[in-house]
Structure formats: C-alpha cells, structure tokens
Amino acid sequence: MTSAKAKGKKKHASSRRRLSIAEEINRNLDNLTRTERQCARVLLSNYPFIGLEKVASFAERAEVSAPTILRLVGKLGYSGYSEFQQHLRDELEERFQTPLTKHEEPLGNTQSDDFLAEYCRCVERNLSRTVKALPRAEFEAVLLLLADPKRTLHLAGGKLTSTLADYFYRHLIMLRANVRRIDNDSYAWSEHLVDLDRRDVVLIFDVRRYQPELMDFARLSSERGASVVLFTDQWLSPVSSVASHVIPVRIDVPSSWDSAVSTMMIVEAMIAALSNRNWAMVERRVKAREKLTDSLHS
C-alpha cells in the first residue's frame, strides 16, 4: 500500500470516530449565541459547501462578522478555520463513497473471532451518537406535524431507503388517516405533486448515495408549500437545503454497506410516541379496522 493511500485510509477512520460537524452543531445548538446559531443554520442550509468557502464569504452569507464565524468554529472544537475546512473536505469524501470504495478502506477487525459482537458495538455506538446529537426540539416538531389530523402525510424513499418509508407508512396508516405512500418512481411523482399545498407533509428518506431525483421532488414539494421532513445520515442529503426539518442519524458500520438501524430506531420511537400520546384515537381506529377485516373475511 502506498503511503498516500495509507494516509487516506487513516484519515477516513479518524473521521468516522468523531461526530460530523452537522452533528456537533445540533448537539451544541443551545450553547451557541444568537449570531452563532445564525451562522450554523446558514451552513446547514447548504451543507457542507458553504463552510468550504472563504471565511469572509461565509460571513457575508450569514450576515455576520468574520470573527463570529471563527468563534463558532472554536466552539465546535477546531483550532482554526483551516482545520474546520479540512474536516468538511474529509466528510465530503465520505459522503460520496460507494460500497466498492468503502470496501477498500479498513472496515474494522473483519478477522475477529466474534465479528457479530464487534458489529453490534458499532451499531450501539451509532444509536448512542444519534440520540445525543439529535435536537429534541426537532424531534418534537416532527411529531407535531405527524399528529396533526388536518395534514396529509406523504412518504418517499430511494432504492434502499424506500423500505424504511414503507415500514413507517404501514404503521402510520394504523395510527391516523390521510397517509400516502409515494412509490420510488419519479415518472409518477407528478400525480402527488399536483395536489400538494401548505397542509401537506412530505417525509423523505435519503442517505448516501443520495438520489438526485429525491432532491428534485423535495424542491418541488417545498415550492408548492408542503413541509419537507428529511431522514438522512450524518453528512446530510442535499434535500436538507429545502427541508423544514432534518433528522440525521449515524449509518457507518464495519461493512461495505451502510446501516439502517439508527433510522429504524428513530422511526419506531416516533411511532411509539404518537401511539402513546393519542392512544384513544389510535384505539378507536385499530378496533374499527379489525372489525372491518373480520367483516371482509366472514
């Protein structure tokens, strides 16, 4: 192995061990000043690209002074703007990795006598980091949208994440009315887009490798007034630039394939919270469905 390739592998392994900058921002949002939060939100609105601009350009976009940007960088744990940008560049490389390029990197102790236990430890760490980094205000805001009976919910995902969208959909239709499943077929999306307005909520699941067509669907949904909720990874799908709410989770494990466990945990937590808070309504709906099922089979 060349020294350059070895250095690259070491860099990615180090990057996986610490939180992404987006995660650090979410974890420390309450400790930031008003102007620092303003900078953070501007960065997250087009993550990570705004942070790769010169500090003066970043400051101009955020309508703050350059020292404010540097104070934010310091609070996030970086010694200077160059170190902050280097970490963003490392994240950008990870963001566009494929199963093939991931396999070229060290994936943990794949020769371990107990690979299952090692994999489990990585998943447990992902769950812990996801919970610590996710702002509770964001979690609660999404729950309020999901619980509002006046809003119609639409769920969409990509080639693999569509299974997560389908799992969430099949639970939501037991909890409430007006839930729609959007198939992973961009040619049919206009049928859903034409009826969207400000009362609609579009839930999109998109992790690396991000699907450009989901970004197009999210943008058009937002332009029609719908609230877009994004379930994504620690590097943030481009959909985050138009999303009203973003739920980032940890997906990296010692494998060529990314993990869906943390996303599933958040989905199941939302299902449980909605059921617990609206049980009287849920109970009536479940009983009515079971009665209808019995009638159909009698």
Is pLDDT above 60 for 122?
yes
Rounded CA separation 144/159 (Å):
28
Rounded CA separation 33/75 (Å):
11
Looking at the fold, whether 30 and 171 belong to one and the same domain comes out as no
Looking at the fold, whether 14 and 143 belong to one and the same domain comes out as no
Looking at the fold, whether 200 and 275 belong to one and the same domain comes out as yes
Residue 102 lies in a domain: no
- pLDDT number for residue 6: 45
Residue finishing a domain among 69, 95, 121: 95
- pLDDT number for residue 154: 97
- The CATH number of whichever domain residue 17 belongs to comes to 1.10.10.10
- pLDDT number for residue 8: 47
Q: How many CB atoms lie within 10 A of CB 116?
A: 8
Residue 202 lies in a domain: yes
Looking at the fold, whether 193 and 286 belong to one and the same domain comes out as yes
Is pLDDT above 80 for 15?
no
- Residue owning tokens 């769920």: 155
Which residues partner with 205 through β-bridges? 157, 231
Report the chain's mean pLDDT, rounded to a whole number.
88
Per the model's pLDDT, the better-predicted residue between 298 and 105 turns out to be 298
Rounded CA separation 151/69 (Å):
38
- Name the residue range of residue 241's domain: 136-293
- Residue owning tokens 């993550």: 47
Looking at the fold, whether 285 and 151 belong to one and the same domain comes out as yes
User: Which of 271, 36, 37, 16 minimizes the C-alpha distance to 135?
Assistant: 37
8 A C-beta contact, residue 252 and residue 239: no
Please provide the distance, in angstroms rounded to a whole number, between the alpha carbons at the two ends of the chain.
68
Per-residue model confidence as pLDDT tens digits over 209-246: 899 999 999 999 999 999 999 999 999 999 999 999 99
Long-range pairs of 165-170 with CB within 8 A, sequence gap ≥ 24: 165/203, 165/204, 165/205, 167/264, 167/267, 168/203, 168/267, 168/270, 168/271
Residue 242 lies in a domain: yes
Range with lowest mean pLDDT among 4-13, 146-155, 168-177, 245-254: 4-13
Looking at the fold, whether 26 and 165 belong to one and the same domain comes out as no
Looking at the fold, whether 276 and 186 belong to one and the same domain comes out as yes
- The number of domains in the chain is 2
Looking at the fold, whether 80 and 219 belong to one and the same domain comes out as no
If you average pLDDT over residues 24-51, what whole number do you get? 90
Q: How many CB atoms lie within 10 A of CB 49?
A: 13
Per-residue model confidence as pLDDT tens digits over 239-272: 999 999 999 999 988 888 899 999 999 999 999 9
Looking at the fold, whether 214 and 70 belong to one and the same domain comes out as no
Residue finishing a domain among 95, 124, 148: 95
Measured over the CA atoms of residue 183, residue 186, residue 188 and residue 192, the dihedral's sign is positive
Looking at the fold, whether 42 and 175 belong to one and the same domain comes out as no
If you average pLDDT over residues 8-31, what whole number do you get? 69
CA 280 to chain centre: 31
Residue 174 lies in a domain: yes
Looking at the fold, whether 74 and 150 belong to one and the same domain comes out as no
Residue 105 lies in a domain: no
Q: How many CB atoms lie within 10 A of CB 90?
A: 19
